[in-house]
Amino acid sequence: ATARRSPEGGLIKVESDSTKYEEEGIRAKFTDRGADVVKGADGKFSVKKTEKTYEFYTRSKVGKVGLMLVGLGGNNGTTVLATHLANRHQISWRTKDGLQQPNYIGSVVRASTVRLGIDPETGKDVFVPLSDMLPMVHPNDFVIGGWDISAVPMDKAMLRAKVLEWDLQRQLIPHMEGVQPLPSIYYPDFIAANQADRADNLIDGDDKQVHLDHIRNDIRKFKSDNELDSVVVLWTANTERYAEIIPGVNDTSDNLLKSIKDSHEEVSPSTIFAVASILEGVPFINGSPQNTFVPGCIELAEKNQTFIGGDDFKSGQTKVKSVLAEFLVNAGIKPLSISSYNHLGNNDGKNLSSQRQFRSKEISKSSVVDDMVAANHLLYKTAAELTAETGEVTKKGEHPDHIVVIKHVPAVGDSKRAIDEYYSELLMGGRNVMNIFNECEDSLLATPLIFDLAILAELLTRVTYKPEGEAEYKPLYSVLSLLSYMLKAPLVKPGTDVVNSLNRQRNALEGFLKACLGLENNGDLLLNTRIW
């Protein structure tokens, strides 16, 4: 049996003059209401209400969507393909607890709901699946392919990953044994030396321009061979070291393209994939922590008006941290230190046991509480306050100590252990210690995020907007910060603030989907329950 379900997106019908359902899309008017706040010399805040009306147009036809993974043969890559196939073919399997059905648990798009409003008869909240807000591709309908520097075919790669139960693997082997990752680019200096024995599926030569052209051709061929309407490319390959940002090399789009032509050593494989995707006009998402999006790469996406998103899947520990740190700080409790330890035994852990690759991960895991701390100057003194207090000029405000440790312990395989201690100041000098111990298969957390990132990225390519009164609709800005919920170190429009709060990230996503339908996102006011 094959369980496919084409996107419908027809579950919700907004009855309003400002929302029009046309043959090829949904046109909706939305007013963005906010406030401009200015702090005067007297310390008082002057607030002016703002509002700007936009029109959104969302094309309804999703078409046939390809998902190309860089790192297809890894733990995440094999688990994505296996999950897709098990769901698509409705393969169930026996475990010691009984018969297990395939599902998409952990996917915000496929397994979570959005509060639309209230039923006027009962006064009860009405929730709908997030996937029904707008027409979106169903993950069963993706055509999945991609690259890996390891030539191991997908059935064997799935066995190597040791993520899924044998009774499922056994049934998936016939579906996966014919699938071979495309050869990829390997610049040994960017990933750990301990990965060298995997690298046996490589595009020939050292010429980076030839590599770029090869990847571009792979994308085009995948699209035409599979008769696809669109493709999303997503990096779930090994974590690379940071590339050095060098003026004249990767600081502008022209310099970056020239550096690729010159095969400059600081151009990483992930940046080549990003540039290839941008030049092919397909969205590129970076699921690892390295700085793939050097300034020249972001500029290239802007110039080509194509979409990029990153960095680093936010799967477990960091997600909890962004919730817990926000809870503490918003509750007026002051975290003094956050100490995070991981150990895991998969190939990701092996690669991260190398210092330069670990450093990339350390950076992405460390930034997650910064905005919450900066938002509460009652608990944390600002740089200016510290300077005034100590007489020593400091540029950094007060911040909790925050350490991140990752160790490779082969025995535990994909089942990552994450241990966190939150040490906080309470009322009248009291102290509070909270410990969290989390244990689960890392790839089962990351896989639904990969589906979500690809589904939402594809959707966002179909949304255009215009300020009311203007003639032309434009695509959204190139950096898809609406994907932040799924990413540890969200890439945002240069010059704008990063939002790490998971709740705010989710609200932004919900709010945006609603805006595309012309709906407001002020559901939690529940004014009817506060008044007579």
How far apart CA 268 and CA 286 sit, in angstroms, is 13
Q: Residues 107, 201, 236, 315: which binds ligand DG6 (CB under 6 A)?
A: 315
For position 406 contacting ligand DG6 by CB under 6 A, the verdict is yes
How far apart CA 338 and CA 53 sit, in angstroms, is 42
Which residue's CB atom is positioned nearest to ligand NAI? 74
How distant is the alpha carbon of residue 38 from its chain centre?
A: 33
The burial class, CB within 10 Å (0-12 / 13-18 / 19+), for 525 is exposed
Nearer residue to ligand NAI within complex by CB, 186 or 422: 186
In the complex, minimum distance from the CB of residue 317 to ligand DG6, in angstroms, rounded to a whole number: 3
Amino acid at 419: I
- Residue 71 binds: one of ligand NAI, ligand DG6, none (C-beta under 5 to 8 A by kind): ligand NAI
How far apart CA 61 and CA 135 sit, in angstroms, is 7
- Residue 76 binds: one of ligand NAI, ligand DG6, none (C-beta under 5 to 8 A by kind): ligand NAI
- Residue 230 binds: one of ligand NAI, ligand DG6, none (C-beta under 5 to 8 A by kind): none
Q: How far is CA 532 from CA 117, 135, 351, 527, 529, in A?
A: 19, 39, 61, 10, 8
Question: Angle 253-261/295-304 helices, nearest 10 degrees?
Answer: 110
**Residues in 343-362 that interact with ligand DG6 by CB under 6 A:** 344, 348-349, 352, 361
With tokens 């940071």, the residue in question is 242
In the complex, minimum distance from the CB of residue 194 to ligand NAI, in angstroms, rounded to a whole number: 11
Nearer residue to ligand DG6 within complex by CB, 288 or 461: 288
Question: Angle 154-161/166-176 helices, nearest 10 degrees?
Answer: 160
Q: Using the rule CB under 6 A, give the single segment among 28-36, 317-325, 326-334, 372-380 that binds ligand DG6.
A: 317-325
Catalytic, out of 361, 371, 414, 420: 361
Rounded to 5 degrees, φ, ψ at 521 are -120, 50
Q: Which residues bind ligand NAI (CB under 6 A)?
A: 70-71, 73-77, 147-150, 184-186, 191, 198, 236-239, 269, 287-288, 312-313, 315, 346-348, 351, 442-443, 445-446
Instruction: Return the exposure string of 19-31: e unless at least 16 CB atoms fall within 10 Å of the residue's CB, then b.
Output: beeeeebbbbbbe
**Residue 415 has what DSSP assignment?**
E
Question: 487, 310 in Cβ contact below 8 A?
Answer: yes
How far apart CA 70 and CA 239 sit, in angstroms, is 12
- Residue 186 binds: one of ligand DG6, ligand NAI, none (C-beta under 5 to 8 A by kind): ligand NAI
Q: Residues 88, 241, 416, 514: which binds ligand DG6 (CB under 6 A)?
A: 416
Question: Angle 75-88/154-161 helices, nearest 10 degrees?
Answer: 110
Nearer residue to ligand NAI within complex by CB, 161 or 372: 161
Q: Residues 27, 402, 462, 488: which binds ligand DG6 (CB under 6 A)?
A: 488
CA angle 52, 57, 59 (to 5 degrees): 160
- Please write down the HEC assignment for all residues of 425-475: ECHHHCEEEEEEEEEEEHHHHHHHHHHHHHHHHHHHHCEEEEECCCCCCEE
Nearer residue to ligand NAI within complex by CB, 148 or 510: 148
Total number of residues that touch ligand DG6 (CB under 6 A): 18
Nearer residue to ligand DG6 within complex by CB, 88 or 408: 408
For position 487 contacting ligand DG6 by CB under 6 A, the verdict is no
- Beta-carbon contacts of 34 under 8 Å, excluding residues fewer than 6 positions away, are 49, 50, 51
- Residue 317 binds: one of ligand NAI, ligand DG6, none (C-beta under 5 to 8 A by kind): ligand DG6
Catalytic, out of 148, 218, 311, 312: 312
Most distant CA atoms of the chain, gap in Å: 75
How far apart CA 344 and CA 162 sit, in angstroms, is 13
Q: Is 312 designated active site?
A: yes
Q: Residues 63, 316, 397, 523: which binds ligand DG6 (CB under 6 A)?
A: 316
Nearer residue to ligand NAI within complex by CB, 346 or 500: 346
For position 442 contacting ligand DG6 by CB under 6 A, the verdict is yes
Nearer residue to ligand DG6 within complex by CB, 58 or 315: 315
Nearer residue to ligand DG6 within complex by CB, 158 or 406: 406
Q: Residues 214, 314, 462, 514: which binds ligand DG6 (CB under 6 A)?
A: 314
CA angle 246, 286, 320 (to 5 degrees): 115
Catalytic, out of 416, 420, 442, 514: 416
Q: What region does 260 belong to: left with phi over 0, alpha with psi -120 to 50, or beta?
A: alpha
In the complex, minimum distance from the CB of residue 416 to ligand DG6, in angstroms, rounded to a whole number: 5
Q: Is 452 designated active site?
A: no
In the complex, minimum distance from the CB of residue 371 to ligand DG6, in angstroms, rounded to a whole number: 17
User: Mask of contacts with ligand DG6, 237-276, x by CB under 6 A?
Assistant: ----------------------------------------
Q: Is 416 designated active site?
A: yes
How far apart CA 292 and CA 283 sit, in angstroms, is 14
Nearer residue to ligand NAI within complex by CB, 144 or 446: 446
Contact positions vs ligand DG6 (CB under 6 A): 314-319, 342, 344, 348-349, 352, 361, 365, 406, 416, 418, 442, 488
Catalytic residues: 312, 361, 416, 488
